[in-house]
Amino acid sequence: MPITERLTELAEQRPNVCVVGSINADLTVTVKRLPHGGETIQGSPLRILPGGKSANQAATAGRLGAAVELVGAVGSDPNAQLLRDALTDAHVDISAVETVDSATGTAMIVVDDAAENFIVISAGANGEVDAETVCGHADKIQRAGCLGLCLEICDEAVLAAAQIAHDAGVSVVFNLSPIRAVSEDLLALVDVLIVNEHELAAIIGSERAVAGCEHGQWDAVGRALADEHGISTAIVTLGGEGSAVLKTSESEVSVTRIPALPIEVVDTTGCGDAYMGTVLTALAAGDDVVTAARLAGVVSAHAATGVGAQTSYGETGKIAQFAADHGL
């Protein structure tokens, strides 16, 4: 089925998605080039944009037509209202977004003319999202078709959400970002892992990650994920090289390479989140992981042609036209 048709169908299906995690105000400045250590350079006027990995994923799912619920927290400052308004505009149910005494989470983002960036996160209210918070909204996880998790909240909250989903038969999609060590208890609950090369290396080691990502030795990657961590399905995103979908059984590692679309990149901020939000939506609608990854490649490519994270995300019609323009 052409991607344009599948995108339209997704919006009509209204699959149920839940995302548990972070909500940030992105403090964004553009520069000619990224600074060296200890260097001060001139940047553009500061822009405060809606972000946070989990919020971005939920916003993508909402704009694609999913019935999406977000569990998280913000403060009571002006940034909180900006983020609530942006999520509502993206059709996200924010009834489980709590208000806490801490400042709303922030991300300091610098983007250069080559669309490269660096990001520093201050957790703020996201640090108040704990296992008790998650358990208080268990019903939202249990009725979802798919749960999205990353690591901008504490490990205990992530593990609690994954366990609730697993016990309810809800698929758990996990992105190991920001990179840090995680327990095997969490990885055992993951149905689909989404990682880039650096995140993959944090799980299986840099030597095997490089062998796969740079030299195409994907069998070793798939076997390491399955045999050592119990992860049989993974998507490895490769930036301008597209992605690789790995499905590992006892007898073989099935590898599907998906090329990137040829686009003029403006800003990659939030593109990985757009990718994951699309995977969540497609899997919740019943698509297989390869189809989900193909759709995600298109949606994230579209996001890369705009500025910011959520501000670059489009509704289904706009993305379908983008896909059609690329012969999809």
Task: Calculate the alpha carbon distances from 242 to 8, 143, 298 in Å.
Answer: 23, 32, 10
CATH number of 3-35+44-325: 3.40.1190.20
Name the residue among 224, 199, 164, 182 with its Cα closest to residue 276.
199
275 Cβ contact list (under 8 Å, min separation 6): 194, 237, 296, 297, 299, 300
Exposure of 236 in the CB half-sphere (CA atoms within 13 A): 31
For residue 215, what pLDDT is reported?
84
Which amino acid belongs to residue 248?
T
Residue 134 tokens read as 């998650």
**What is the 3-class SS of the chain, one letter each residue?**
CCHHHHHHHHHHHCCEEEEECCCEEEEEEECCCCCCCCCCCCCCCCEEEEECHHHHHHHHHHHCCCEEEEEEEECCCHHHHHHHHHHHHCCEEEEEEEECCCCCEEEEEEECCCCCEEEEEECHHHHHCCHHHHHCCHHHHHCCCEEEECCCCCHHHHHHHHHHHHHHCCEEEEECCCCCCCCHHHHCCCCEEEEEHHHHHHHHCHHHHHHHHHHCCHHHHHHHHHHHHCCCEEEEECHHHCEEEEEECCCCEEEEEECCCCCCCCCCCCHHHHHHHHHHHHHHCCCCHHHHHHHHHHHHHHHHCCCCCHHHCCCHHHHHHHHHHCCC
Mean pLDDT rounded to a whole number for the chain: 94
Domain residues of the chain, as ranges? Answer: 3-35+44-325
Q: Find out whether 104 and 114 touch, Cβ atoms under 8 Å.
A: no
Residue among 26, 273, 287, 288 flagged as catalytic: 273
Cis before residue 50, ω within 30 degrees of 0?
no
280 Cβ contact list (under 8 Å, min separation 6): 17, 19, 57, 61, 66, 146, 147, 148, 173
Kindly report, residue by residue over 148-176, the tens digit of the pLDDT: 999 999 999 999 999 999 999 999 999 99
Residue 131 and residue 217: Cα distance in Å, rounded?
Answer: 38
Identify the band that residue 139 occupies on the pLDDT scale cut at 50, 70 and 90.
very high
Residue 17 and residue 235: Cα distance in Å, rounded?
Answer: 19
Portion of the chain with pLDDT greater than 70, in percent: 100
For residue 88, what pLDDT is reported?
97
Q: Find out whether 161 and 132 touch, Cβ atoms under 8 Å.
A: no
Phi/psi for 295 (5° steps) reads -60, -45
Question: Does residue 113 have an active-site annotation?
Answer: no
What crossing angle do the helices spanning 53-63 and 271-284 adopt, rounded to 10°? 50
With a cut of 80, say whether residue 95 has pLDDT above it: yes
Mean pLDDT of 98-120: 91
Phi/psi for 222 (5° steps) reads -60, -45
Record the pTM.
0.93
For residue 83, what pLDDT is reported?
97
For residue 119, what pLDDT is reported?
86
Q: Find out whether 117 and 269 touch, Cβ atoms under 8 Å.
A: yes
Kindly report, residue by residue over 204-221, the tens digit of the pLDDT: 998 889 888 888 899 999
For the four alpha carbons of 106, 88, 11 and 320, in that order, the dihedral sign comes to: negative
With a cut of 80, say whether residue 1 has pLDDT above it: no
